[in-house]
Amino acid sequence: MPAQIGIDIAIASALLRQGKLVAIPTETVYGLAANGLDLKSVLGIFEAKNRPRFDPLILHVRDIPMAKTLVNEWNDTAQTLAEAFWPGPLTLILPKSDMVPDLVTAGNSTVAIRIPSHPLTLALLQLIEFPLAAPSANPFSYVSPTTAKHVADQLIDRVDYILDGGECTIGIESTILAIEGKTARVLRLGGLSIEAIETVLGQPLLETLHQNSNPQSPGQLDHHYAPRCKLIPLYNKDEPQLSWAELLKKPLFTSGFGLLLFSKQGMGAEEEFYLTKLQVAGKTKVYILDELGDIAKAGANLFSILRLLDSDGCKEVYFFWAPEIGLGRAINDRLMRASS
Ligand code: AMP
Ligand code: MG
List, for residues 22-41, the tens digit of each pLDDT value: 999 999 999 999 999 999 99
Query: Which atom of ligand 1 lies nearest, measured to the CA of 91?
Result: 8
pLDDT over 70 (residue 57) = yes
| Cα–Cα distance measured from residue 248 to residue 266, given in angstroms and rounded to the nearest whole number | 14
* Residue 99 near residue 93, CB atoms below 8 Å: no
What's the whole-model pTM score? Answer: 0.95
Domains defined along the chain, listed by start = 4-207 (3.90.870.10), 230-339 (3.40.50.11030)
SS (H, E, C) 231-246: EEECCCCCCCCCCHHH
Q: Which residues contact 196 (CB under 8 A, 6 or more apart)?
A: 85
Tell me the C-alpha distance between 27 and 299, whole Å. Answer: 12
Burial class (CB in 10 A: 0-12, 13-18, 19+), 210: middle
Q: What CA–CA distance (Å, rounded) separates 126 from 259?
A: 44
Q: Report how far ligand 2's centroid is from the alpha carbon of 340 (Å).
A: 16
The radius of gyration computed from the CA coordinates of the chain, to the nearest angstrom, equals: 20
How many residues are given for the chain?
340
CA-based torsion, 41, 124, 78, 74: positive or negative: negative
- For residue range 261-288, what is the model confidence (pLDDT) as tens digits? 999 998 888 888 888 887 877 678 999 9
* Residue 277 pLDDT: 81
Check residue 209 and give its pLDDT.
86
Residue 144 Cβ inside 6 Å of ligand 1? The answer reads: no
Residue 99: Cβ within 10 Å count: 14
CA of 144 to the centre of ligand 2 (A): 6
Decide whether any atom of ligand 1 lies within 6 Å of the 108 Cβ: yes
C-alpha span between 281 and 302 (Å, rounded): 26
pLDDT reading at 1 higher than 80: no
Q: Is the CB of 121 under 6 A from ligand 1?
A: no
The residues with which 188 forms a beta bridge, in sequence order, are 176
Question: Which amino acid residue places its CA nearest to atom 22 of ligand 1?
Answer: 217
What is the 46 CA–ligand 2 centroid distance (Å)? 11
Give me the amino acid identity at 260: L
* Tens digit of each residue's pLDDT (9 = 90 or more) over 107-135: 999 999 999 999 999 999 999 999 999 99
If you write DSSP's letter for every residue of 44-92 in order, what string do you get?
HHHHHHT--TTS--EEE-SSHHHHHHTBS---HHHHHHHHHH-SSSEEE
**In angstroms, what is the span from residue 108 Cα to ligand 1's centroid?**
10
Angle between helices 295-311 and 148-155 (to 10 degrees): 30
pLDDT above 90 as % of the chain: 79
Q: Which of 133, 164, 111, 156 is nearest to 44 (CA)?
A: 133
DSSP string for 83-103: HHH-SSSEEEEEEBPTTS-HH
